[in-house]
Amino acid sequence: MTRPVRARIDLQAVTHNLSVVRQAAPQSRVMAVIKANAYGHGVIPVTRALMKADAFAVASLEEAMQLREAGISHDIVLLEGVFDPEELELAITHQLQLVVHCEEQVSWLEGFKSGASVHLWLKVNTGMNRLGFSPQTALAMWQRLQRLSYVKTNCLRWLSHLACADEADNPLNSTQLVRFTEVTHFSETLQGTGAERSLANSAALLTRPDMHFEWVRPGIMLYGASPMASNHELEVELQPVMTLESRLIAVHQRAKGETIGYGQDWTCPQDMPVGVVAIGYGDGYPRHAPSGTPMLVNGKTVALAGRVSMDLICVDLRNQADAKAGDIVTLWGVGVPVEKVAQHVGTISYELLCGVTSRVPRFYQSN
Ligand SMILES: *Cc1c(COP(=O)(O)O)cnc(C)c1O
């Protein structure tokens, strides 16, 4: 038997989650965010399950080229644009759409000659304070980009990113909306017609219809995890896409007072069975997961016991006395939401999903 760790990827769930996006934002086009290897799920199969999306968004030219090489001819947006002027040529050859977030990028574009038509997304900083032009500067940049011969009027668009959309009642959300609306309205008066706009990530898509505009940019919800910081207010039925699983490779009876694993971090409170699972931080299971982090053995919840090692973890099997080597362990996915594991670990579902390492084979099912 080979090492039993695997990530099962349910491609039908991806397609289902896209239909949830469509229902939530029926008036908008969908830019599906598939950066970071589709949040760890495997970008090519996931993209194929998302063929009904209107565009894809990635973080780098390399990620975009991977899609082009797989024959995907959809619109693809580089969320940070190009990183140097050499990339510009390649990006345009491959018909990629570029975010423009800084003055250097504007200058590179001004130095570039192209016969092809290029789509640009001008990024405005409305309160995230990470990338993008201030609303004041953005208008001057808009005018410079408008003058480029290879940028047609309807090919220049607005984009901004929300800092706190996962907290539905954070007042910054509405502040960002007001700033975004103001700056984009001004460009409308400049050019006489409205430009297309994009503001909403998954969280805003599900909670703020007033932020949908012409394009929504869902990421995490396509993978079936809730985008909200606290999980309660969502009524939509997202289906988890990744189920990370392995198997028990040993079960030992331990005596009360024996300690488990590195650093003697966990002590058996009684005579009890302790299972050993073939997964560890070398696979992307988080090393900082504390004892008590839930997982399923044969469909029943059990708890991590002791420190996570590179290839192995131990579990408290007191409520699973019949469990034996070979039994399936689900670390997250169907039956154990990745958000719940993330909460125990003090991180977010995004990091857990992206962190599954290349050593873990992905098994794709489309039912
Ligand atoms: C990653 C990303 C998204 C997707 O965010 P989710 O919270 O995963 O929906 C949207 N827009 C930008 C600019 C991003 O970087």
Cβ neighbors of 11 (< 8 A, separation 6 or more) are 45, 46, 48, 49, 241, 364, 365, 366
Rounded to whole angstroms, the Cα distance separating 163 from 116 reads 35
Dist. CA 195 → ligand 1 center (Å)? 21
Task: Determine which residue's CA is closest to atom 15 belonging to ligand 1.
Answer: 79
Residue 262 annotated as catalytic? yes
| Atom number, ligand 1, closest to the C-alpha of residue 159 | 13
Domain-located, residue 79: yes
Within 200-336, where are the H helices? 202-207
34 and 147 within one domain? yes
| Atom number, ligand 1, closest to the C-alpha of residue 33 | 4
pLDDT in tens, 79-95: 999 999 999 999 999 99
Label residue 326 left, alpha or beta by phi (over 0 means left) and psi (-120 to 50 means alpha).
left
196 and 304 within one domain? no
140 and 283 within one domain? no
CATH of the domain at 285: 2.40.37.10
Q: So what's the pLDDT on residue 193? A: 75
Domain around 144? 11-223
Q: So what's the pLDDT on residue 194? A: 85
Q: What is the mean pLDDT of residues 274-296?
A: 98
Dist. CA 217 → ligand 1 center (Å)? 6
70 and 176 within one domain? yes
Q: pLDDT category, 231, cuts 50, 70, 90? A: low
- Cβ atoms of residues 107 and 85 within 8 Å: no
Q: pLDDT category, 154, cuts 50, 70, 90? A: confident
Residue 232 scores a pLDDT above 60: no
| Atom number, ligand 1, closest to the C-alpha of residue 227 | 7
255 and 218 within one domain? no
pLDDT in tens, 254-273: 999 999 999 999 999 999 99
Q: pLDDT category, 187, cuts 50, 70, 90? A: confident
**Greatest C-alpha distance within the chain:** 78
Dist. CA 219 → ligand 1 center (Å)? 5
Which of 52, 152, 256, 262 is the catalytic position? 262
Domain-located, residue 229: no
150 and 113 within one domain? yes
Q: pLDDT category, 188, cuts 50, 70, 90? A: confident
Dist. CA 34 → ligand 1 center (Å)? 9
Which of 121, 130, 217 for a ligand 1 pocket mutation test, highest count of atoms within 8 Å of Cβ?
217
257 and 209 within one domain? no
Within 84-217, where are the H helices? 85-93, 103-110, 135-146, 172-191, 202-207
Q: Among the three residues 165, 190, 223, which one is the final residue of a domain in this structure?
A: 223
Q: Which residues, judged by CB distance below 6 Å to any ligand atom, belong to the binding site of ligand 1?
A: 33, 35, 79, 161, 201-203, 217-220, 227
Q: So what's the pLDDT on residue 236? A: 78
Which of 37, 76, 199, 201 for a ligand 1 pocket mutation test, highest count of atoms within 8 Å of Cβ?
201
Residue 339 scores a pLDDT above 90: yes
| Atom number, ligand 1, closest to the C-alpha of residue 205 | 9
- The DSSP code sequence of 163-185 is SSTTSTT-THHHHHHHHHHHHHH
Domain-located, residue 59: yes
111 and 30 within one domain? yes
CATH of the domain at 198: 3.20.20.10
Task: Determine which residue's CA is closest to atom 4 belonging to ligand 1.
Answer: 219
Residue 189 scores a pLDDT above 80: no
Dist. CA 220 → ligand 1 center (Å)? 8
Domain-located, residue 233: no
Which of 20, 63, 79, 207 for a ligand 1 pocket mutation test, highest count of atoms within 8 Å of Cβ?
79
pTM for the whole structure: 0.96
71 and 208 within one domain? yes
| Atom number, ligand 1, closest to the C-alpha of residue 59 | 15
284 and 140 within one domain? no
Dist. CA 78 → ligand 1 center (Å)? 12
Domain-located, residue 6: no
126 and 54 within one domain? yes
* Strand locations in the chain (E): 6-10, 29-33, 55-58, 75-78, 96-100, 120-123, 156-159, 197-198, 215-216, 242-254, 259-260, 266-267, 272-277, 294-297, 300-304, 313-316, 328-332, 362-365
The residue type found at 111 is G
268 and 173 within one domain? no
79 beta partners: none
Domain-located, residue 236: no
Rounded to whole angstroms, the Cα distance separating 121 from 330 reads 41
DSSP state at residue 195: P
Domain-located, residue 48: yes
Dist. CA 310 → ligand 1 center (Å)? 30
Q: pLDDT category, 229, cuts 50, 70, 90? A: confident
The count of domains in the chain is 2
Share above pLDDT 90 across residues of the chain, in percent, rounded to a whole number:
92
Domain-located, residue 2: no
